[in-house]
A = this chain, B = another copy of it.
């Protein structure tokens, strides 16, 4: 077989609406794709870098340039390739996830098998995904919640001065929805978080994601003991070691490919969480259907999914996992099963320069 070659491509995705969470607002996302070819077939994976986890488009492209010559000629050599990437540079999980997912896509295409089947998973067991309502004025959030009527589960971003007004407005238009909330580390102390959660609990919520900034697990442990709602860790939980560290301190963890470094690292996190009796939600960044579909292939293993990053953008160039009555429907085409529906723009293919923020 010919040596594997790696080609980066930067996408520019536009949010349908400005996407606001407790620590900022986003109108555009520029994930970086890794295309890995063997001379006959090509696999694709996506890096959705986040400066919160130490990555930007530029660092991802710099990492992909480092990884191009260590791939060898066998897309199944995951142990060797992952170790080689880790030896070349530590951290940078989104960049590594792009390569690792592209290898799985290529491996699946060679075998004519979808990735979920490579992992032995049952595609019937996918959970429903939530649909995310970003922070806005209460009426605006209610309007979006009503428009998202196809999604039986909503994830509502909180951490504003008056979250209760927002949830009340949403509950009025979506009385039967299952609703989870995500504070993205907004509350400054465990006591502040406990009071906020106490206020929100009357709106019949599933759980609260990342109430506090990452820090001492004992803060989460205290909060969990004083919270009427289950607590999930997202920003606090990056690696399998973090899952272990958080055992007993939270009810569940949020696993994302861009945080942990790929499908196999995500499996390790899920298994660590299972061992500790913790629940798992597979989440995402704002990304195209490439990254969302890759993550979706692992969802038969978990209770909760929040895989709507592609639904929030207006110009996703790929088509992959679908959503039917809220439930994730995995493609059964080989590999990730994503197909390109909008050809690459000249800009994205030629992109080699500096990220414009």
Contact = CB atoms under 8 A, between A and B. Distances in A.
A300 interface: yes
A276 to B, nearest CB: 8
Interface in A69-122: 74, 76-80, 111, 113, 117-118, 120-122
Contact of A76 (B113, B272, B275): B113
Nearest to A241: B275
A348 to B, nearest CB: 30
Contacts of A120: 76-79, 264
A268 B275 CA distance: 9
Contact of A77 (B111, B122, B244, B271): B122
B121 A79 contact: yes
A275 B122 contact: no
A169 interface: no
B275 A80 contact: no
Interface in A223-279: 240-241, 244, 264, 268, 271-272, 275-276
A79 B122 contact: yes
Contact of A275 (B77, B117, B272, B301): B272
Interface residues of A, number: 25
Interface residues of A, dominant DSSP: helix
Nearest to A104: B120
A125 interface: yes
Contacts of A125: 79
Contacts of A276: 244
Nearest to A268: B271
A121 B76 CA distance: 8
A277 to B, nearest CB: 10
Contacts of A121: 78-79
A76 B241 contact: no
B79 A300 contact: yes
Which of A79, A80, A240 has the most CB atoms of chain B within a 10 A radius of its CB? A79
Contacts of A268: 271, 275
17 contacts: A74-B117, A76-B113, A76-B117, A76-B118, A78-B121, A79-B120, A79-B122, A111-B111, A111-B113, A120-B264, A240-B271, A240-B275, A244-B275, A268-B271, A268-B275, A271-B272, A272-B272
Given A76-B117, A79-B121, A240-B275, 19 more contacts: A76-B113, A76-B118, A77-B117, A77-B120, A77-B122, A78-B120, A79-B122, A79-B300, A79-B301, A111-B113, A241-B275, A244-B275, A244-B276, A268-B271, A268-B275, A271-B271, A271-B272, A272-B272, A272-B275
